[in-house]
Chains A and B, each alone.
Chain A
Amino acid sequence: MASFRLLPSAFCLLLAAVLLIVTAACTLASPGQPKWNDASVSRSRWGTDPVFTPARSSFGQAFREFLGRRPTDVAQPFPFSHQIHLSKGATCTDCHTGVEQGPRAGLPSINTCMICHSQIATDRPLIQQITRMQEEGRDLNWNRVYNYFPESHVRFEHAPHIRAKVECSTCHGAQIEQTVARRAVDMDMQFCVNCHKNNKPQASNDCLTCHY
């Protein structure tokens, strides 16, 4: 009984030790590695951190990755509405042009928007905004909706799935009900593997199919 009562405190100690080690591993620099944080590179146009590293930026980040927590709603630079466009007869492949050929479906640039919008709905303020952006040579910096953690080491190719007649909505949800794209389906490994297993003909379940 005495040992049983000891257990919670022992567990707390163990947890504290593990937390300490994990924090140290996340925050401490690698010994003997070249350091790039001298004055010449400390100010970077590509973010605040002068170096790119696969290390997690903070303990909180490591914790979120461990639990697989990703933000559901990703802020986008422009309030594009999938609902309006799909209800007016546009199809996915009109803008996401790479989906049938290669791995990436492609996020459209303003030039793609202006194929139609140089003629259509030119009186709307949002359309005038992107027209101005195109004239200034700027483009929309779309954010990724299904942003996996780098440690997932996971890759996806659109074209083989489109050829296998997988509907876009299987993974992306009903876009006709969405304005800005949201994470409608929780795509974890189970989601992928179930389909790969149950489909006829069976798709490859080799690790190297997705993880490389």
Chain B
Amino acid sequence: MPFRWGMAIDLNACTGCEACVTACHAENNIPTVSAEQASRGRAMHWIRVERYYEGNFPDVRVKFRPVLCQQCDNAPCEAVCPTYAAHHNEDGLNAQVYNRCIGTRYCANACPYNVRFFNFFNAEWPKPLHLQLNPDVSVREVGVMEKCTFCVQRIKAAKTAARAEHRALVDGALQPACAQACPTSAIVFGDLNDPDSRVARLARSPRGTRLLEDLGAEPKITYLQKQPWHEPDAY
């Protein structure tokens, strides 16, 4: 049976430390842009931590929500791509093929989660900082779209290693960079097709919701949090 990679993020465990953001930048060779360009919305973060404030000072509560590509089953970005650069593969991954991308940016406009990023520049790394670039991940050039890949290079490597040793991939052996870096283990990654995997059990949890679920994009990321109907006084 093919895999169906998914993720569960426990918002009650997330402390908003942004270790996932840092890990993602390091793993996936994501370039940084200048402050001026960032103010024009050209910053690239495949995962970001959104902050929501509740109440007035000094009684303020901050809630965090890490947002990355939701790897939608019914992805709006795929339908609008004229070159099929955004497509679904057999593992349920929402793939982005840089070779095919011609930079129309339709996908970024169609994406309701704002998690697709356009390379407005050829990124530059002052030497010798380029030696820290991950050799397993492409360095994208100007004019292509990029987004979270669920660390497809790690998925590929884990599959190859498992097949070389004639064993099945065990649940939890494979983690994307964000899940690996998370100090509170708020991010859980795994195969949704395996009903016993940790992520599949969390996806069935009554604490779970999906981001902008009413849009019908069928995202594969489940956000877990204490729901108001569990404990009305908490909200």
Residues of A at under 8 Å CB distance from B? 25, 30, 32-34, 36, 41, 44-47, 49-55, 100-103, 150-155, 157, 159-160, 163, 204, 206-208, 211-212
**Taking CB as reference atom, which chain A residue is nearest B126?**
A36
Inside 8 A of B142's CB, which chain A residues have their CB? 25, 30, 54-55
Residue of A36, A51, A54, A207 near B97 (CB, 8 A) is A207
Q: Does B67 contact A (CB under 8 A)?
A: no
Closest 8 CB pairs of A and B: A52-B130, A30-B121, A55-B122, A36-B126, A54-B141, A207-B97, A51-B124, A153-B138
Q: Determine which residue in B93, B100, B123 has the highest number of CB atoms from chain A within 10 A of its CB, and name it.
A: B123
Contact A212 B149 (CB under 8 A): yes
Bound form: Cα–Cα A25–B141 in Å: 12
Contact B124 A33 (CB under 8 A): yes
Q: How does the 8 Å CB contact mask read for B118-137 relative to A, with 1 for contact and 0 for none?
A: 00111111111111010011
Q: Determine which residue in A36, A103, A153, A211 has the highest number of CB atoms from chain B within 10 A of its CB, and name it.
A: A153
Q: Does B87 contact A (CB under 8 A)?
A: yes
Inside 8 A of B124's CB, which chain A residues have their CB? 30, 33-34, 36, 51-53
Contact B123 A54 (CB under 8 A): yes
Residue of A34, A46, A153, A204 near B128 (CB, 8 A) is A46
Residue of B125, B131, B138, B160 near A53 (CB, 8 A) is B125
Contact B160 A160 (CB under 8 A): yes
Query: Given A47-B127, A50-B127, A55-B122, do A34 and B163 touch, yes or no (CB 8 Å)?
Result: no
Contact B141 A151 (CB under 8 A): yes
Contact A52 B125 (CB under 8 A): yes
Contact B164 A159 (CB under 8 A): yes
Inside 8 A of B26's CB, which chain A residues have their CB? none
A-B contact count (CB 8 A): 112
Inside 8 A of B136's CB, which chain A residues have their CB? 155
Bound form: Cα–Cα A157–B162 in Å: 14
Main secondary structure on A side of the interface with B: loop
**Taking CB as reference atom, which chain B residue is nearest A150?**
B139
Query: Given A36-B124, A52-B124, A153-B98, do A206 and B90 touch, yes or no (CB 8 Å)?
Result: yes
In the complex, which range does the number of interface residues on chain B fall in? 35 or more
Contact A211 B152 (CB under 8 A): no
Residue of A34, A41, A160, A212 near B138 (CB, 8 A) is A212
**Taking CB as reference atom, which chain A residue is nearest B29?**
A54
Bound form: Cα–Cα A21–B205 in Å: 55
Bound form: Cα–Cα A100–B165 in Å: 11
Contact A45 B128 (CB under 8 A): yes
Bound form: Cα–Cα A102–B157 in Å: 8
Q: How does the 8 Å CB contact mask read for B70-107 relative to A, with 1 for contact and 0 for none?
A: 00000000000000000101100101011110000000
Q: Does B167 contact A (CB under 8 A)?
A: no
Contact B99 A159 (CB under 8 A): no
B152 → chain A, closest Cβ, in Å? 5
Contact A208 B152 (CB under 8 A): yes
B195 → chain A, closest Cβ, in Å? 25
Bound form: Cα–Cα A164–B35 in Å: 50
Inside 8 A of B87's CB, which chain A residues have their CB? 207
**Taking CB as reference atom, which chain A residue is nearest B91?**
A208
* 7 further contact pairs, Cβ within 8 A, besides A36-B126, A51-B126, A54-B139: A41-B127, A46-B130, A52-B127, A150-B139, A159-B160, A207-B87, A212-B153
